[in-house]
Structure 1
């Protein structure tokens, strides 16, 4: 049973029989479907079944000779509300199933951001139609969480915000230059990291860690698409699963200037979310990439 089903409102699924009932309903009554021919007698089917606003279960499989769907795998999904431009996005296939991960060259984080690709059929269609000779740059990020808490925000005055923005812009330019082989930019980034480490070490002796670290995104566990995340809450919506009536929070969280829509069951969030406060938790990153 998929670990993140509870994030979309299925926290009371405990048996395979209960899960099969949900999956059979999704196959019989999908909200939308995409059918692609990817070879001689080979097809790819992606079904979407919505169980709330922009959330649901997607099923990947193929139809047999009797027009019966053979399910390969399924996954819960949540569609983000904000589209972000990235320097470049690569798509990598999983070895064990028809699934893909996206890799964003994000200057905001300084490291590649890995996410699970939601719109698999769009990518496969593009690849098999020989249209995949262009750069991918637009993606909507989202994250499913089953463990999170609300922490206080960091109070900053206007001058601090200006200095922070200036520093972030400088770092983005240095990262871009370093990726192009600029040795001076690499040296400056190294020196900046040393200074930052020294500053944090000194402040940590007298300050709380979360008053020093405003936002962060750190790989979590062995799953490359999972992260430990801290970010400021910019918007809040309460959603409901149409089958179970369970409620979920949709939190628009800003992480290093990157908007991420996080969906978490209200049962799994500790604290009361409010704009200006921060979300801290583990998330399974997903992305809906714009293909031509």
Structure 2
């Protein structure tokens, strides 16, 4: 499987030495530089270097003071793609893992109730806003694809599409009722989930999986925020890495009624994308909390 950095046009960064060269380039000539003092009196810095439209490599450093000497440590070097669309969410929490500078966000998409986790990129913005007790209900998220394939859409007639749309609208209403504490709605959602699961198992005995599932959004490893994704392509944008000249696709997908942006290097995409086709792949989820 490719590394997430490949998704933004760095397919030839395959060893630590080349990555360290990139880190030095970013620290020497960043496009954006942010800094903040932490509770432990350390300096946290974020250095972003732009390599394409809304496409960056981000280096996060910590400056620790030890008596008279200041020690600079590189905490992360990660790809970052700024999403074009905001997603309204509920139940948003942000957790720190291992140390004070690696964060991930946990939330639910507001309308569908779909839960997801992503690595937080704007740590400085978030921690400063959080210290002021601000509320957060919007995020921007992009899946950086480590592999992907274009697959055919499911053929439906107008009546089938109308029925499916009606069912999804009912589901959204039920999710909102359950979120507001309606016990009857919670029971109905649980019952429907069991029935759908049973129907899926029965159909898979005779039908192909991709002809049954129009979309899915399934975590493969929660710890790394990696998801298996299948969704309909609604928009296609072509991006180019200014340094490597490699080209990428930025897709806007409809994943079971949840909008999701995905970037993938053209080199690793199997198939020719077009509006209405579906993208199936594995993505590392990263993004920002809107402060």
Cα deviation digits, residues 228-272 of structure 1 (max 9, x gap): 000001111221111111111111111122221111111111111
Secondary structure of the structure 2 residue equivalent to 1:159: helix
**Could you tell me whether the CA contact under 8 Å between 2:249 and 2:265 is conserved in 1?**
yes
1:191-215 deviations in Å (ceiling 9; x for gaps):
2123222332333333321111001
Question: Contact 2:215/2:232 (CA < 8 Å) preserved in 1?
Answer: yes
Q: Provide the residue aligned with 2:51 in structure 1.
A: 51
Map of 2:189 onto structure 1: 189
Trace 1:277-288 onto structure 2 (pairs within 5 A).
277-288=277-288
Relative to the length of structure 1, the TM-score reads: 0.90
The Cα shift of 1:162 comes to 2.5
Looking at structure 2, the residues matched to 29 and 69 of structure 1 have their Cα atoms a distance apart, in angstroms, of: 17
What stretches of structure 1 of length at least 5 have no aligned partner?
A: none
Equivalent residues in 2 for 1:67-86, closer than 5 Å:
69-86=72-89
Alpha-carbon contact 1:80-1:260 (below 8 Å) kept: no
Q: After alignment, is 200-209 or 258-267 more displaced?
A: 200-209
1:38 matched to 2:38? The reply is yes
Gaps of 5+ in 2: none
Superposition RMSD on alpha carbons, in Å? 2.2
| 2:48–2:57 Cα contact (<8 Å) kept | yes
Partner residue in 1 for 2:204? 204
Aligned match of 1:123 in 119, 126, 144? Answer: 126
Among 90, 105, 108, which residue is 2:108 paired with? 105
Quote the Cα distance in structure 2 between the aligned partners of 1:93 and 1:118: 12
Greater CA drift, 199-208 or 261-270: 199-208
TM-score (norm 2): 0.90
Distance between the aligned counterparts of 1:168 and 1:143, measured in 2? 24
Q: How many angstroms apart in 1 are the aligned matches of 2:115 and 2:201? A: 26
In structure 2, C-alpha distance between the alignment counterparts of 1:53 and 1:264, rounded to whole Å: 14
Matched, 1:229 2:229: yes
The alignment partner of 1:149 has SS state of strand
Instruction: Mark the CA change 1:38 to 1:178 in structure 2 (over 3 Å): closer, same or farther.
Output: same
Equivalence for 1:165:
165
The SS at the match of 1:220 is strand
Structure 1 counterpart SS, 2:127: helix
Q: Structure 1 residues 271, 63: closer, same or farther in 2, change over 3 A?
A: same
State the Cα deviation string for residues 76-102 of structure 1 (Å, max 9, x = none).
111111112122321111223502111
Tell me the SS of whatever aligns to 1:82: coil
**2:63/2:71 contact within 8 Å kept:** yes
Q: Distance in 1 between matches of 2:221 and 2:234?
A: 27
1:178 corresponds in structure 2 to: 178
Deviation at 1:40, TM superposition (A): 6.6
Provide the rounded CA distance (Å) in 2 between the counterparts of 1:154 and 1:11.
32
Kept after mapping to 2: 8 A contact 1:108/1:256? no
